[in-house]
Structure 1
Amino acid sequence: MAAPSASKKVVYAALIGNLLIAGTKFTAAALTGSSAMLSEGVHSLVDSGNELLLLYGLKRAARPPDAAHPLGHGRELYFWSFIVALLVFALGAGVSLYEGVIHMMAPEPSTSPHVNYAVLGISAVFEFGTWWVALKEFRRSKGSLGYFAAVRRSKDPTTFTVLFEDTAALLGLAIAFIGIAASDYFEAPELDGLASIGIGLLLAATAMFLARECKGLLIGEPALPHVEEETLRLAAADPAVQRANGVLTMHMGPQQIVALLSIEFHDNLTAPDIEACIERLEARLKERRPELTTIFVKPQTTGVWSARRKAILDADQDE
């Protein structure tokens, strides 16, 4: 799981790179009249706005709990990440598809194609730099998992959002290069518009994938299995605990987890003994797992817990 400082580093790198790239692409589009280059400029501008929204989300999510939000503001990051996915679809994909269709219906030959090639080369260098920063951070956080499995299990949307945006940007540059080169070689300006449509479809697919992952986080996802296993192991190790039946968890943010422990205490314990045990458990768990920001302990027999878990699993299967 990426730390907040690491997430910010990735977002800042992407923001600086995209601002430089957007200015370069718009200049080239104005000089050459290329539809694909204009779509790429819009793409980079939308990505720059997305990075600003992610930084805003990180700042809002870091606020402490208050009376209106007793469990904290961590989910604000998930909300703004979902907005980013919508913007990629509505602005990036929408404008690219529109420009592509218009350019195919009323094709105009591109002028000074060598300017486009130079800009695509410069943009590729900038884009690869920001993509590499995001990839290194994602590799560090994913461990031995595969890339798609790591995205599905990740609780920090900033790193994988930037990584997928930059991957789409590099693929978009490749599509723009092919479209511009084909348009110049075959003297068919319609191919430039077709490349713009291709970029739009690429952005639409990226947006839908990001929206799906952010939706799961926004609704609420449990902690990773090893976190739940360690939580149960630490709880079961307390001498006052007869059995740690199970734990229900939910991420309120990348580093904010709410945990509900079902524990069966020894029958000879008094109420003060149980209260002391709960205090020990909370202190020990938060020391070992600082992301466990809120812990609830429910005295519960094994049978009651098993029935509760079965009801949850049955409901999941019905869906």
Structure 2
Amino acid sequence: MSAEGGTRAIVAALLANLGIAVTKFVAYLLTMSSSMLAESIHSVADSGNQALLLLGGRRARRAATPQHPFGYGRERYVYAFIVAIVLFSLGGLFALYEAWHKWSDPHGITSWQWVPVTVLLVAVVLESFSFRTAIKESNLVRGRESWTRFIRRSKAPELPVVLLEDFGALVGLLFALFGVGLTLITGDGRWDAAGTAMIGLLLVTIAIVLAVETKSLLLGEGAEPAEIAAIERAVAAGPEVERIIHMKTLYLGPEELMVAAKIAVSRCETAEELARGIDAVEARIRAALPVARVIYLEPDIYHAEAGPVEASGRSGS
């Protein structure tokens, strides 16, 4: 559901941004407003970012190979990280440069004065529809989590990226209206430069947040506490396992969790009996947490008087 919803949100944002980018750039050519240029580049960067997210989602669906035995699920994280870099450099830094340039050589908007305000107001409407789609699709997977926690904890990068981009686009449009409006009222182009600088700082901030969160996913995140608790309950639900000696989890992609655990098993008469028990435990884990697709269970004997096998210096069975 998250991948499908993320794709819908990305496509909605891409279509909106392509149209907005063209109209903003036309408005810039007519008025030479730095805020309009910054917003034009912002929309172009957003459009490119959404194309990158779609490409990442497509490439992540490739089948596993001997060289990449766990598949390409993390490629979605790679492209999301590239999005953060593009937003930082092409969007944020360019806007800050343009603000400095306009502040050094300020000039008012003397022709087509109604164009930038009209374009910005239309862009607000279009971005609002895109933002609404992202919110609607996010709510399907967010549950009762706060928006901040959803963005920080989501394993699928597309929805948080589109949410932050659309939010940044709406706030950036308000900054552009601020700069353009005061420039039209006062005739002082430095207000236009101020609005452009505010847009640049906003985009740099959003890009840094995205980069930090995506970096964590690239490094490899484990299951959430609630997911770990569900796995532990599933393991302990049958007679095959006495206890979990230790367990580690790792997300191989947004919808694929690896579970590796050493478990203390009851003494078995035959290897066949042990194998059936492990199969039963794996089935319970997958039923409790469908995203747990890769499971490795190592059986061992737990000695209560000595503690876990690692404490006695044994390397494992």
Using the size of structure 1 for normalisation, the TM-score is 0.92
Contact 1:232 1:246 in 2 (8 A): no
- CA deviation map 1:224-280 (0-9, x unaligned): 222221212111122221223453111111101111122110124432222222222
Which residue number corresponds to residue 33 of structure 1? Answer: 32
Contact 1:108 1:189 in 2 (8 A): yes
Residues 50/291 of structure 1: CA separation in 2 closer, same or farther (3 Å cut) = same
Residues 295/194 of structure 1: CA separation in 2 closer, same or farther (3 Å cut) = same
**In the aligned structure 2, how far is the partner of 1:305 from the partner of 1:206?**
47
Q: CA deviation at 1:299?
A: 2.1
Which residue number corresponds to residue 167 of structure 1? Answer: 167
Instruction: Supply the RMSD in Å over aligned alpha carbons.
Output: 1.7
Residues 57/209 of structure 1: CA separation in 2 closer, same or farther (3 Å cut) = same
Letter matched to residue 29 of structure 1 = Y
Which residue number corresponds to residue 213 of structure 1? Answer: 213
Which residue number corresponds to residue 186 of structure 2? Answer: 186
Which residue number corresponds to residue 83 of structure 2? Answer: 84
Contact 1:93 1:200 in 2 (8 A): yes
Matches within 5 A, 1:132-281: 132-281=132-281
Which residue number corresponds to residue 23 of structure 1? Answer: 22
Moved more, 118-127 or 237-246: 237-246
* Structure 1 counterpart of 2:308, from 288, 304, 309: 304
Contact 1:262 1:305 in 2 (8 A): no
The aligned length equals 307
Contact 1:232 1:247 in 2 (8 A): no
**In the aligned structure 1, how far is the partner of 2:98 from the partner of 2:178?**
17
**In the aligned structure 1, how far is the partner of 2:268 from the partner of 2:287?**
28
- CA deviation map 1:192-243 (0-9, x unaligned): 0121111011000000000000000010111122222121211112222122
Moved more, 45-54 or 252-261: 252-261
SS in 2 for 1:72: coil
Contact 2:9 2:137 in 1 (8 A): yes
**In the aligned structure 2, how far is the partner of 1:35 from the partner of 1:14?**
24
**In the aligned structure 2, how far is the partner of 1:154 from the partner of 1:181?**
38
Which residue number corresponds to residue 113 of structure 1? Answer: 113
Letter matched to residue 35 of structure 2 = A
Contact 2:230 2:288 in 1 (8 A): no
Contact 1:251 1:257 in 2 (8 A): yes
Residues 289/305 of structure 1: CA separation in 2 closer, same or farther (3 Å cut) = farther
Query: % of aligned pairs identical?
Result: 36
Q: CA deviation at 1:291?
A: 1.5
Contact 2:107 2:188 in 1 (8 A): no
- Structure 2 stretches lacking a partner, 5+ long: 313-317
- Structure 1 stretches lacking a partner, 5+ long: 309-319
Using the size of structure 2 for normalisation, the TM-score is 0.92
